[in-house]
Structure 1
Amino acid sequence: MDVVRIMESLAEQGVTVLLKADAERMREGVKPWTFVASGAPFREDLLVRTDAASVEACLEICLPRLRTFGLAIPESGA
């Protein structure tokens, strides 16, 4: 999975992307990864966000939703 390529593609389309690993949640074993995408072409108050157990799980949840907004996203396969 080429996460950098996916994030660059979104950024090129005007989307701000954040991928975060939370140390405290990782120690607790509770969904330590967060994915957030916001900005154009979205309305100001709309964003796509999830917390999950892995980067892959975040992308499996968020990428299909981003595609429904008409964003071109490279396939997540490496």
Structure 2
Amino acid sequence: MTPQQYAIAETIGLNLFFIGIFIFIGMAIQDVLKKGEVPKFGRVFVWFVLFLGCAGFVFKGIVQVLWESNGLS
């Protein structure tokens, strides 16, 4: 494999790792919310904040790809 292929494999692996971490965080939060009998408003707020974190991660990835394709990095 060439160094460029290693870099691509590393990037894909790292992104899959982060997706897995977000899934496990979501499962942990869901478990805590169920066991803590959190009211509906609290659950909506917690999931909204979690969504914003995931959306920020996705947005960062999109910006990074756009910058690298334009030669800015």
**TM-score normalized by the length of structure 1:** 0.31
Q: Which has the higher strand share?
A: 1
Q: Which has the higher helix share?
A: 2
**TM-score normalized by the length of structure 2:** 0.32
Which structure exhibits the higher relative contact order, with contacts defined as CA atoms closer than 8 Å and separated by 6 or more residues?
1
Larger Rg: 2
